[in-house]
C-alpha cells in the first residue's frame, strides 16, 4: 500500500540552510583546481599521458585539449563557483551551462574508449566530473528555485516513470559500466590480474539480472505510487511503502550494491567489488541520514511506524 498523505512543506535543511550553496560552490572550486592539477601533471610528467589516451593516438595528442579545458572547465568552474557563492542572478544559468559543457568531452572520451577499447581511466574521470557537475546543477536548481539537496517535485506517474527510466540509464551506465571499466584498466596497469573461475559469467550475469529487476521494480513503484522520482532533487511527495518497499526500506540502494558486486564478479576484479562495497558504506554513512531526516520531517509518525517495522538492509515480513 502507499500512504497517500503528502506534506509539501520542504525539509528544514533545504528551506533554511546555506548548505546547498556551500556544497555547489565548494565542488565547483574543487573541480577547477583538480582539473588544473591534472594538466600540471601531464605537462610535468609527459609519461603520464599514456595513462589517459589510447595507444593508437600520436604521442602527446591529449595535450591539444588544454585550451578548451582551461577556458571552459577551469575558468568556467571558478566563475560559476564565485557566482553561486555570491548568489548572483546568473548563477543558475552558469551552473547549467557548465554541466552541459562537461558532457561534451565526456561523450567524446566514452566514444573513444568504445572505439579503441582503451583510455577507460580518462572516461571514468570525465564521467565522474560530468555527473557531479549535473548533480550540482540539479541541487542549485533554476532561477525560480532555491538551492536544495532535497526538493519535492510532484508530477504525473507517466512523467515520473519516464524521468526515472532516464535517470536509471545514466546511473547504470556511469556506475556499472564506465567506472568499473576504468577501475579494471587501472588495476591492470598496476599489475593486478583479474580472476577467473568456471561458470563465472552465467552466475554473475544471473545475479546482475536479479538485482537489476529489483532496481527497476523499485524505481517504477516510486514513480507510479509516489508521483516523483528516486532523485533527491525531484523526490516523490508521497511516502511509498508498496512493492519492494514493503520488504526493505531502500531496495534501490540494495539493488545497486548487488549490481556492483555482480559487475566486479563478471569482470573478475576484486577492486570493482571493493568499489561496490565502499559505495554501500558511503550511502549508509552519508546519504541515508539526510534522506531519513527529510522523510521524518515530511511524514512524521507515518514514516516512524514504517521505519519501526521494515529494516534497512535485511528484507522483512511485508509491512501493511
We report the CATH number of the domain holding residue 225 as 1.20.120.1630
Q: What integer pLDDT is reported at residue 12 of this predicted model?
A: 42
Domain endpoint, select from 93, 116, 146: 146
Give how far Cα 163 sits from Cα of 9, 156, 296, Å.
23, 11, 25
Check if the beta carbon of residue 151 is closer than 8 Å to that of residue 235. Answer: yes
For residue 178, the SS3 value is helix
Q: What integer pLDDT is reported at residue 318 of this predicted model?
A: 72
When divided into structural domains, the chain yields a total of 2
Domain endpoint, select from 146, 178, 204: 146
Nearest to 306 by CA among 225, 219, 245: 245
Give the domain extent around 269.
163-319
Examine the domain organization and report whether 76 and 127 are in the same domain.
yes
- 195 found inside a domain: yes
Rounded to 5 degrees, φ, ψ at 138 are -70, -35
- 6 found inside a domain: no
- 158 found inside a domain: no
Residue with cell 512493492: 243
Nearest to 177 by CA among 127, 116, 106, 220: 127
Rounded to 5 degrees, φ, ψ at 235 are -80, 160
CA 18 vs. chain centroid, Å, equals 22
For residue 144, the SS3 value is coil
The dihedral through the CA atoms of 163, 164, 168, 174 has a sign that is: positive
Continuous H helices in the chain: 12-16, 19-44, 66-68, 75-85, 91-116, 120-140, 157-173, 179-189, 200-226, 251-267, 270-282, 288-309
CA distance 245 to 242: 5
- 277 found inside a domain: yes
Q: What integer pLDDT is reported at residue 7 of this predicted model?
A: 44
Nearest to 263 by CA among 184, 156, 162: 184
Check if the beta carbon of residue 23 is closer than 8 Å to that of residue 149. Answer: yes
pTM of the model: 0.90
* Ramachandran class of 69: left when φ > 0, alpha when ψ lies in -120 to 50, beta otherwise: alpha
- 2 found inside a domain: no
Examine the domain organization and report whether 71 and 137 are in the same domain.
yes
For residue 283, the tally of other CB atoms under 10 A from its CB is 17
Record the cell numbers describing residue 212, joined without a space.
537489476
Examine the domain organization and report whether 110 and 225 are in the same domain.
no
- 151 found inside a domain: no
Q: What integer pLDDT is reported at residue 5 of this predicted model?
A: 44
Examine the domain organization and report whether 220 and 291 are in the same domain.
yes
Domain endpoint, select from 100, 116, 146: 146
Per residue of the chain (320 residues), what is the pLDDT tens digit? Answer: 444 444 444 444 444 468 999 999 999 999 999 999 999 999 999 999 999 999 999 988 999 999 999 999 999 999 999 999 999 999 999 999 999 999 999 999 999 999 999 999 999 999 999 999 999 999 999 888 889 999 998 899 999 999 999 999 999 999 999 999 999 999 999 999 999 999 999 999 999 999 999 999 999 999 999 999 999 999 999 999 999 999 999 999 999 999 999 999 999 999 999 999 999 999 999 999 999 999 999 999 999 999 999 999 998 877 55
Examine the domain organization and report whether 223 and 307 are in the same domain.
yes
Amino acid at each position: 500500500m502507499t500512504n497517500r498523505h503528502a506534506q509539501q512543506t520542504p525539509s528544514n535543511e533545504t528551506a533554511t540552510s546555506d548548505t546547498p550553496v556551500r556544497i555547489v560552490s565548494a565542488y565547483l572550486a574543487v573541480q577547477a583546481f583538480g582539473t588544473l592539477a591534472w594538466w600540471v601533471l601531464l605537462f610535468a610528467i609527459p609519461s603520464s599521458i599514456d595513462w589517459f589516451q589510447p595507444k593508437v593516438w600520436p604521442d602527446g595528442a591529449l595535450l591539444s585539449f588544454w585550451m578548451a579545458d582551461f577556458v571552459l572547465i577551469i575558468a568556467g568552474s571558478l566563475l560559476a563557483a564565485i557566482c553561486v557563492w555570491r548568489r548572483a542572478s546568473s548563477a543558475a544559468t552558469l551552473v547549467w551551462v557548465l554541466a552541459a559543457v562537461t558532457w561534451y568531452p565526456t561523450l567524446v572520451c566514452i566514444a573513444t574508449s568504445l572505439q579503441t577499447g582503451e583510455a577507460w581511466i580518462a572516461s571514468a574521470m570525465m564521467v565522474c566530473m560530468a555527473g557531479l557537475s549535473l548533480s550540482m546543477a540539479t541541487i542549485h536548481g533554476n532561477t525560480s528555485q532555491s538551492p536544495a539537496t532535497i526538493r519535492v517535485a510532484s508530477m504525473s506517474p507517466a512523467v515520473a516513470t519516464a524521468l526515472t527510466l532516464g535517470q536509471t540509464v545514466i546511473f547504470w551506465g556511469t556506475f556499472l559500466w564506465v567506472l568499473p571499466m576504468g577501475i579494471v584498466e587501472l588495476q591492470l596497469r598496476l599489475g593486478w590480474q583479474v580472476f577467473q573461475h568456471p561458470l563465472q559469467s552465467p552466475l554473475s550475469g544471473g545475479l546482475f539480472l536479479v538485482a537489476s529487476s529489483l532496481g527497476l521494480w523499485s524505481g517504477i513503484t516510486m514513480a507510479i505510487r509516489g508521483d516523483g522520482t528516486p532523485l533527491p532533487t525531484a523526490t516523490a511527495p508521497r511516502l511509498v511503502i508498496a512493492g519492494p518497499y514493503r520488504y526493505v526500506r531502500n531496495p534501490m540502494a540494495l539493488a545497486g550494491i548487488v549490481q556492483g558486486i555482480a559487475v566486479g564478479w563478471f569482470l573478475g576484479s576484486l577492486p570493482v567489488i571493493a568499489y561496490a562495497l565502499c559505495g554501500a558504506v558511503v550511502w549508509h554513512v552519508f546519504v541515508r541520514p539526510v534522506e531519513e531526516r527529510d522523510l521524518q520531517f515530511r511524514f512524521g509518525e507515518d514514516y516512524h511506524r514504517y521505519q519501526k517495522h521494515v529494516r534497512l538492509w535485511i528484507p522483512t515480513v511485508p509491512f501493511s
